[in-house]
């Protein structure tokens, strides 16, 4: 089983990634060690509640959920509530179960990361699908701790195409660029899945309908349909999909890397994070002239097979939904 800590800021696409991950848990392929939530798409309090309720909905509320560090360098940047709903869950919290997780008493994410990585050195895969504030906080508190992960898989950055938070920069990196810089200096084998590939992952209502028909009236099915409809209707989604009906399931790409790697291709590179630019804060860069790999710290995804990735995701989600 792959031991995983998911660092997330649900978020519609985070929700779909988490449900896919829970299907892999159900199939006995993943041991989900913890879910650490963070300030990002919406405030840390809402991402904590959203992740907790999703776990409960799918019957996995025995997994610890940690709360996010607040006060990353970009706390003045607006969140993405207009895309994901004020609750991060498409304003559909009423469709999710009550749960006992308590934000006030929950542990902070950096503490949980440090504890788990020390307890299982070299064994845990961190999947980071949100601003990198928690990972950086753990690294600052316990220098070298991120090296104790087996691997770190990051959805973030934009190299050859434009950004989404700003014309130049992608949300997860630019929301807390200082944190991203710390994480990108922490090891030399980061897996980076940028907007350049996730822009091709257009999830539609048709795909959702095909998934949920295996158990159409379950609470998960009804939530999936409603969340997909919300995300698809959103004006910002239209902009991201060039007017096609659908929304981008950016964060799901991380699970494709782990379980369907044939859907992605990579380039080895030294990735740098812009933290000083007036117009380019949070931009991710590599030397696209191919001259040198000296100091390379990452594998950056350059292409994706969206048809097979979305098909794999669909088949796994069906397994989650089936009785
Ligand atoms: C990333 O930003 C967030 O809004 C999404 O959840 C995803 O993690 C895409 O740039
Ligand atoms: Ca996210």
**62: three-class secondary structure by DSSP:** coil
**36: three-class secondary structure by DSSP:** strand
Instruction: Round to whole Å and give the CA distance between 214 and 313.
Output: 14
DSSP state of 215: G
Q: Which of 174, 181, 193 has its CA nearest to residue 146?
A: 181
- What atom in ligand 1 is closest to the CA of residue 13? 6
What's the pTM value of the predicted model, to 2 decimals?
0.96
- What atom in ligand 1 is closest to the CA of residue 175? 2
- Give the model's pLDDT for residue 143: 98
Our mutation pick for probing the ligand 1 site, out of 13, 175, 284, counting the most ligand atoms within 8 A of Cβ, is 13
- What atom in ligand 1 is closest to the CA of residue 130? 8
Q: What is the mean pLDDT of each run of 10 residues along the chain (323 residues)?
A: 98 97 98 97 96 98 94 66 89 94 97 98 98 98 98 98 95 96 98 98 97 96 97 83 89 98 97 96 90 87 98 98 91
Of the listed ligands, the closest to the CA of 253 is: 1
Chain mean position to CA 308? 20
How many CA within 13 A on the CB side of residue 46? Answer: 23
- Give the model's pLDDT for residue 76: 66
DSSP state of 170: -
| Helical pair 12-26 and 44-57, crossing angle rounded to 10 deg | 40
Our mutation pick for probing the ligand 1 site, out of 234, 251, 284, counting the most ligand atoms within 8 A of Cβ, is 251
How many angstroms does the Cα of residue 156 sit away from the middle of ligand 1? 8
User: What are residue 253's phi and psi, to 5 degrees?
Assistant: -60, -30
Q: Which of 297, 232, 221, 309 has its CA nearest to residue 265?
A: 309
- Give the model's pLDDT for residue 73: 55
- Give the model's pLDDT for residue 238: 78
Ligand 2 is an ion; its neighbours by CB within 5 Å are 9, 11, 14, 129-130, 251
Residue bearing the CA closest to ligand 1, atom 10: 171
The position carrying tokens 């822009």 is: 199
- Give the model's pLDDT for residue 71: 67
- Give the model's pLDDT for residue 70: 80
């Amino acid at each position: 089983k792959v031991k995983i800590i998911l660092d997330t800021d649900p978020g519609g696409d985070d929700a779909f990634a988490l449900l896919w991950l829970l299907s892999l848990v159900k199939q006995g392929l993943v041991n989900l060690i913890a879910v650490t939530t963070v300030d990002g798409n919406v405030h840390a309090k809402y991402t904590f509640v959203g992740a907790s309720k999703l776990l409960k909905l799918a019957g996995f509320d025995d997994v610890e959920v940690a709360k996010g560090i607040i006060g990353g360098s970009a706390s003045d940047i607006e969140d993405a509530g207009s895309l994901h709903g004020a609750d991060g869950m498409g304003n559909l919290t009423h469709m999710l179960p009550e749960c006992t997780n308590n934000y006030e008493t929950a542990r902070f994410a950096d503490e949980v990361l440090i504890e788990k990585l020390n307890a299982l050195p070299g064994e845990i895969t961190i999947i980071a699908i949100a601003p990198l504030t928690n990972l950086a906080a753990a690294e600052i508190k316990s220098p070298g701790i991120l090296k104790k992960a087996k691997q770190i898989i990051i959805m973030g950055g934009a190299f050859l195409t434009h950004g989404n938070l700003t014309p130049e920069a992608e949300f997860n990196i630019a929301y807390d660029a200082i944190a991203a810089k710390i994480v990108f200096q922490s090891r030399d084998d980061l897996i980076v899945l940028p907007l350049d590939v996730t822009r091709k992952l257009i999830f539609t209502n048709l795909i959702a309908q095909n998934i949920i028909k295996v158990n159409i009236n379950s609470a998960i099915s009804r939530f999936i349909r409603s969340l997909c409809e919300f995300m698809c209707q959103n004006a910002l989604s239209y902009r991201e999909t060039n007017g096609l009906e659908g929304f981008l399931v950016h964060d799901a790409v991380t699970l494709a890397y782990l379980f369907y790697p044939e859907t992605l291709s990579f380039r080895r590179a030294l990735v740098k994070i812009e933290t000083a630019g007036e117009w380019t804060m949070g931009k991710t860069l590599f030397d696209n002239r191919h001259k040198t790999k000296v100091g390379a710290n990452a594998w950056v995804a350059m292409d994706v097979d969206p048809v097979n990735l979305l098909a794999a995701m669909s088949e796994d989600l069906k397994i989650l939904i089936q009785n």
